[in-house]
Amino acid sequence: DAMVIQNPRYQVTQFGKPVTLSCSQTLNHNVMYWYQQKSSQAPKLLFHYYDKDFNNEADTPDNFQSRRPNTSFCFLDIRSPGLGDAAMYLCATSRDLGDNEKLFFGSGTQLSVL
Amino acid sequence: RKEVEQDPGPFNVPEGATVAFNCTYSNSASQSFFWYRQDCRKEPKLLMSVYSSGNEDGRFTAQLNRASQYISLLIRDSKLSDSATYLCVVKGSSNTGKLIFGQGTTLQVKP
């Protein structure tokens, strides 16, 4: 059974039209992450939550926001998607922030911007 | 300079071959190291952690060289199913949980 679930698998939006990607987990992990991965590039961390504490990466554009209403759910909001925001968005969790904590990834949402 | 660098490949090898990938990292204070595997259009999955003493898991061997700041992954007796992109992942020195991914090295095993 999937432990980190992302919906939808594929998302198409229009240039400038707000879009929300969702992620849920059944692992009861403290930490939830959002990564952006463009074709043939490394996954890039956008932000993460430790419990309710939000941690934004310094180079994450303001266009990207996140919400974590409870332990199980985390959302990625793109306020005004541009063509350059087309990418795979990966949600991941980890139990905690220790050195050897492993990440558990969802299957990703492939976002297209028309 | 990228924080984690890998040769993107692709590496094309015949079945049964032994292949090795290297990865270099820039932050000498990095504490934890991993190899993840990513299939086309799928999510990354943990392949193995990399320990200072080196570690082996079946046909896969990972090694860490802190002095030269590189990590290696050796795959013996390659299978067709090993075809994938292998991501080198490094965790920084602070307890922030931030994992830094390399671009990945693509392996294609041919019959």
pLDDT confidence tier of residue B94, bands split at 50, 70 and 90: low
Q: Is A73 on the interface with B (CB under 8 A)?
A: no
Query: Which one of B43, B64, B95 would you mutate to disrupt binding with A, by most A Cβ within 10 Å of its Cβ?
Result: B43
Contact assessment for residue B38 and residue B44, using Cβ atoms and an 8 Å cutoff: yes
Interface of A with B in 15-44 (CB under 8 A): 31, 33, 35, 40-44
Q: What angle do CA B17, B23, B27 make, to 5 degrees?
A: 165
Q: Is the pLDDT of residue A20 over 80?
A: yes
User: Could you read off the pLDDT of B31-42 as tens digits, one per residue?
Assistant: 889 999 999 989
Q: With cut-offs at 50, 70 and 90, classify the pLDDT of residue B99.
A: confident
Question: pLDDT category, B53, cuts 50, 70, 90?
Answer: confident
Average pLDDT, chain B: 91
CA-based max dimension of chain A? 40
> Under the phi-then-psi rule, with left for phi > 0, alpha for psi from -120 to 50, and beta for the rest, what region is A9?
alpha
Contact assessment for residue B27 and residue B79, using Cβ atoms and an 8 Å cutoff: no
Across all residues in chain A, what is the average pLDDT?
94
